[in-house]
Amino acid sequence: MKCVSGSLENRKKTLQPLAVRYVREVMGVCRRFETAQDDPSKLYPAWFWEAVIETFYFTGIRLNQLLHIKAKDVDLKRMILVTSFEGSKTYSESVVPIADGLYPYIAKLMLAAHRGGFKREDQLFNVNRFSRRHRRKEMDINQVEHFFKRLSGFCGTRVTPHRFRHTLGTDLMEDPDRNIRVTQMILDHSSMRTTMEYVHPSVDSMRKALNQRRCP
């Protein structure tokens, strides 16, 4: 029994679909409030933080990678964004596809950046350039962590960039048509062994495999 318990404890901490849905509902309420009242919500500016959340959800990039994305790194026509070696654990540049679900959020962010006079080398995900409250030159880890701490309080569950990353990895590896190499590339893993850590067959799936075993 201890072994089973231990294996469960070692699993990557992910966000359940209901938690993700609730995160989106909370952000939607904040965005609509800001639009209707022309006043900051508790998670201001909501539209910007929605873009941050959806980027983590759809790409699984690390927090440090997000902070190093510049305006020039996004190509909306080709629907890709480039993460630099500066924010990567593997010290390599990688091309990340912009999924259909993510596109509207990135397009809105890019439009706001254009209107804000962003230069090609400017940090793209920079709340300070879109907010009345924030005054730093660039967005840093503390600002992002502070936002997610507040978001977690509203959602009643711990929400972090890394949990979005683990959720994506788990979803990709639990897909019946999974491609381990593709998952490795998406998550920017240097080792296939790291990618395989996202494989967690359920007891039911293991029982099904045993029941389907041919008898001699």
Catalytic residue among 24, 162, 178, 200: 162
Whether 62 is a known active-site residue: answer yes
Whether 200 is a known active-site residue: answer no
Residue 68: inside a domain, yes or no? yes
Q: Tell me the residue range of the domain where 132 lies.
A: 2-211
Whether 68 is a known active-site residue: answer no
On the question of pLDDT at 6 being above 60, the answer is: no
Residue 216: inside a domain, yes or no? no
On the question of pLDDT at 15 being above 70, the answer is: yes
Buried b / exposed e over 3-13, threshold 16 CB at 10 Å, is: eeeeeeeeeee
Residue-wise pLDDT for 32-87, tens only, equals 999 999 999 999 999 999 999 999 999 999 999 999 999 999 999 999 999 876 65
Catalytic residue among 62, 68, 129, 163: 62
Whether 208 is a known active-site residue: answer no
Select from 121, 85, 82, 122 the least CA-distant residue to 98: 82
In sequence order, the β-bridge partners of residue 123 are 70
Residue 25: inside a domain, yes or no? yes
Give the Cα separation of 95 and 88 in Å (integer): 12
What is the C-alpha end-to-end distance of the chain, expressed in Å? 32
- What integer pLDDT is reported at residue 7 of this predicted model? 47
Residue-wise pLDDT for 162-203, tens only, equals 999 888 888 877 776 666 667 676 677 666 676 666 666 555
The CATH number assigned to the domain holding 98 equals 1.10.443.10
Residue 43: inside a domain, yes or no? yes
Whether 78 is a known active-site residue: answer no
Residue-wise pLDDT for 132-163, tens only, equals 888 899 999 999 999 999 999 999 999 999 99
Residue-wise pLDDT for 83-127, tens only, equals 876 655 656 678 899 999 999 999 999 999 999 999 999 999 999
Specify the residue for token string 């990895």: 169
Six-digit token string for 204: 């039911």
Domain count, the chain: 1
Residue 182: inside a domain, yes or no? yes
- What integer pLDDT is reported at residue 215 of this predicted model? 66
Whether 89 is a known active-site residue: answer yes
DSSP label at 94?
A: E
Residue 63: inside a domain, yes or no? yes
Buried b / exposed e over 47-80, threshold 16 CB at 10 Å, is: bbbbbbbbbbbbbbbbbebbbbbbbebbeeeeee
Does residue 30 or residue 174 have the better pLDDT?
30
Catalytic residue among 70, 163, 166, 189: 189
Residue 168: inside a domain, yes or no? yes
Burial class (CB in 10 A: 0-12, 13-18, 19+), 168: buried
pLDDT band at 3 (very low <50, low <70, confident <90, very high): very low
Q: What is the pTM of this model?
A: 0.82
Residue 183: inside a domain, yes or no? yes
